[in-house]
Structure 1
Amino acid sequence: MAQFVNEPGFAAFHPAPTDLDFQGKGSMTTFSTPDGGNASGYLIKASVPTDKWLFVYQEWWGLNDHIKHQADVFYDDLGGKVNVIALDMYDGKVTSNPQEAGQLMQGVKEERLENIVAGARLMAGSGAKIANVGWCFGGSWSLKSALLNGQQNLGSVIYYGMPVRDIEKLKTLNSDVLGLFATEQYISEAVIKEFAANMETAGKKLTYKIFPAVHGFSNPSNPRYDEAASKEAYGLAITYLKEKFGV
């Protein structure tokens, strides 16, 4: 998605998020990454020990309180039976300024992002079964995470994120994918239909819906939040995740 940052009008699709009064159920945790560094995430541990994990991926703003809150919501609606971690893909950087968010997204290195995912997978353990969900920048990383996690991957929910287009990579997916898209010019209907065709060619299942709502419609801190579309999309997402985790 970084390719769109400098295009006229792209930032307008991302109005600054409103403040959120948030007291979380989880806490920040740190883990090692294969590149010799450390990464962090907002973690809510399951009420009883389990190898079920949900990786949650931030929007381009960074790991803000909205994403932490959404991690709490998923945790509750999965009955507290799944470990949920919202990964900090910007290594502590957070903004509410669209121009700064664009710079952060453009500036982060793909190799570092892959190492953060790998570190989280290693922390979860070799027996972990992992599903993924994310929005915008994180929607793309929900699918990339599903690919990186190989046989440990259970599923991927993409909220209006740019899909992976490489058919050979898509062939390695260990799950189907749920796509929840917006009506927009960047991740357009044409892009989504191309993704659907690529998934079919790869022999993988994609279920998707394009909502008559703007990019970012499911973020309640977005001034353009669409409550009805968000409720429907979340219903699809949580049903999908409950099925994957068997809860």
Structure 2
Amino acid sequence: MSVGQTKTTCCSRPTVGAGATEAFAMLATNEDFSGGHDAPLPYTYEGQGEMIEFKTTDGQTAKAFEIKSNVRSDKYLFVIHEWWGLNDYIKKEAATFANELKGVNIIALDLYDGQVAGTPDEAGKLMQAVKSERAEAIIKGALLHAGPNAKVSSVGWCFGGGWSLQTALLAGPKAVGCVMYYGMPEKDVAKLKTLNTDVLGIFATQDKWINPEVAAQFQKDMAAAKEKVTIKNYDADHAFANPSNPKYSKEFAAQAHAATLDYLRKNFKLKG
């Protein structure tokens, strides 16, 4: 992609003047993008955690998958799904974090309001239907659910990667960490200046959508905002950390996960 071109992605926030719905709709019709996301392999999660319901700031309610810490804690990790929705793979990922981050409550948000895609076509339609105002109301509701003393980190992939960064922005002083896997970064430097946390950005050098140019520009924008970002690039393709994706890289996924754990443990100030 040459300099000056813009490609919307599953993880994008819209460019100035364009609404999120339009940005997602444009991507949903991108055959190259849809073709790069094979349907996830069948999987059923059976383990700890439960679905919860909480009030959202738009006067409605939302649901999420929550795994509470075994000890009383104001530390929360918000996990944000890919374009498939809050499926059992994301619940499994939430459980993995719960086991590895002792003393942290895990909440996997549902920005699709209960809908889950099984095919790229379905995923594109669901992503296309997401309205920024509703997604933000869900995130704000989850922040209220976490409580006034909450210390919140977020992690997400693809669509959820972009929303992980938006979560950190919406969390304000509650934000203590943000991990975004191959998600479209916020481009507004003025907004980035309001971040209360540093960011760990995980990108794939073979990614055609969230490509190295996007990652490099994010690094420049964060520098301009005088905010700290750590960029980790892996010689892999988009969605390389998803075990249900044919582009999955076990080696790089493990490395990225280890980096994520180190980052979260440090930012949550966990012992051990």
Would you call these one fold, judging by a TM-score over 0.5?
yes
Q: Indicate conservation of the 8 Å contact 2:168/2:178, yes or no.
A: yes
Q: Indicate conservation of the 8 Å contact 2:152/2:174, yes or no.
A: yes
From 201, 204, 207, the counterpart of 2:227:
204
CA shift for structure 1 position 111: 0.2
Q: Partners in 2 of 1:96 and 1:213 — Cα distance?
A: 24
3-state DSSP of counterpart to 1:132: strand
Q: Which amino acid aligns with 2:112?
A: Y
Q: Which amino acid aligns with 1:67?
A: I
Q: Does 1:8 align with 2:31?
A: yes
CA shift for structure 1 position 185: 1.5
After the TM superposition, list the runs of 4 or more consecutive aligned residues in structure 1 that deviate by more than 4 angstroms.
none
Q: Which amino acid aligns with 2:78?
A: F
3-state DSSP of counterpart to 2:260: helix
Q: Which amino acid aligns with 2:151?
A: K
**Alignment partner, residue 141 of structure 2:** 119
Q: Indicate conservation of the 8 Å contact 1:17/1:223, yes or no.
A: no
Q: TM-score scaled to structure 1, two decimals? A: 0.97
Q: Does 1:171 align with 2:193?
A: yes
CA shift for structure 1 position 103: 1.2
Gaps spanning 5+ residues in structure 1: where? none
Q: Does 1:158 align with 2:180?
A: yes
CA shift for structure 1 position 19: 1.3
Q: Indicate conservation of the 8 Å contact 2:154/2:177, yes or no.
A: yes
**Alignment partner, residue 52 of structure 2:** 29
3-state DSSP of counterpart to 2:31: coil
Q: Indicate conservation of the 8 Å contact 1:4/1:186, yes or no.
A: no
CA shift for structure 1 position 24: 2.3
Q: Partners in 1 of 2:170 and 2:184 — Cα distance?
A: 16
3-state DSSP of counterpart to 2:235: coil
Q: Does 1:77 align with 2:118?
A: no
Q: Where in structure 2 are the equivalents of 1:1-247 lying within 5 Å? A: 1=9, 2=24, 3-79=26-102, 81-182=103-204, 183-247=206-270
Q: CA RMSD in A?
A: 0.9
Moved more, 3-12 or 85-94: 3-12
Q: Partners in 1 of 2:210 and 2:27 — Cα distance?
A: 10
3-state DSSP of counterpart to 2:32: coil
Q: Partners in 2 of 1:11 and 1:239 — Cα distance?
A: 33
Q: Which amino acid aligns with 1:133?
A: V
3-state DSSP of counterpart to 1:94: coil
CA shift for structure 1 position 4: 2.7
Q: How many residues align?
A: 246
Q: Which amino acid aligns with 1:173?
A: L
Q: TM-score scaled to structure 2, two decimals? A: 0.89
3-state DSSP of counterpart to 1:218: coil
Gaps spanning 5+ residues in structure 2: where? 1-8, 10-23
CA shift for structure 1 position 220: 1.0
Q: Partners in 2 of 1:222 and 1:14 — Cα distance?
A: 7
Q: Partners in 2 of 1:59 and 1:177 — Cα distance?
A: 19
Q: Which amino acid aligns with 2:221?
A: N
Q: Partners in 1 of 2:225 and 2:28 — Cα distance?
A: 29
